[in-house]
Amino acid sequence: MDFQFLWVSSHYFGDPKSIGTARSETSAEAKANIQDIQAFGYHSPIGLFTVATTSITMNQEVEAAFEQTIEQIIQGFEAQGAKNIITKQEEFSTISGVKGIKIFGNGDFPVPGSKELVKGEYTVLLFGGKGFQQNVILTWLDEDTYAQDIVDRILSSVEVKTDV
């Protein structure tokens, strides 16, 4: 399984097996079903800009649990101090036609090292099938035109390969 942003054409989920780390609260039952998790992330505290990708391979060929993943991501935002999170959902298709789910919205996000909250936006792309799930998480400051340009470029060029 592989993510590509065509304008960078980087392969984040080949060898080595782990490039970054992912931190989430996962139930014991869910952990027992996970064979492998691979993650890559970039976060800049300036502008709240984040790009993160995760690929999960399951022990069994069960359908991806998108609703559970969405709930965990929103809970993760809240655990970091985000408030007033508004969530919208729609179908998303990559440039080659791979269908997924797009969760997006805005809220008040904490400034790192401060109790101050600022308006921010987020988009989460979820893809998956029997035995695997992949996602992309993007966050940025509301009205940051440079970050919005980068997000738009990522969303218009993201490609997901669903073969191993």
pLDDT, residue 22, reads 35
User: Of the ranges 1-10, 77-86, 135-144, 154-163, which one carries the lowest mean pLDDT score?
Assistant: 1-10
Structural element, H or E, at residue 77 = helix 66-79
Model confidence over 10-27: pLDDT tens digits?
Answer: 444 443 222 233 334 445
pLDDT, residue 29, reads 56
Spell out where 24-116 has E strands. 34-44, 49-58, 83-93, 99-110
Residue 129 has pLDDT above 50, yes or no: yes
Model confidence over 42-101: pLDDT tens digits?
Answer: 988 777 899 999 888 877 777 778 888 899 999 999 998 999 999 999 999 998 898 999
Indicate yes or no: pTM above 0.75.
yes
Report the alpha-carbon distance of residue 132 to residue 122 in Å, rounded: 23
Q: What mean pLDDT comes out for the span 148-153? A: 94
Q: May I ask the CATH architecture of the domain 2-161? A: 3-Layer(aba) Sandwich (3.40)
All structural domains of the chain with their residue ranges: 2-161
pLDDT, residue 62, reads 73
Residue 7 has pLDDT above 70, yes or no: no
What value does the mean pLDDT of the chain take? 80
Q: What mean pLDDT comes out for the span 128-147? A: 91
Q: Is the dihedral of CA 50, 35, 69, 149 positive or negative?
A: positive
Instruction: Give the list of residues 6+ apart from residue 57 with CB closer than 8 angstroms, or none.
Output: 1, 34, 35, 36, 37, 131, 132
Q: Determine phi and psi for 40, rounding to 5 degrees.
A: -140, 140
Q: How many secondary structure helices (H) and strands (E) does the chain include? A: 3, 8
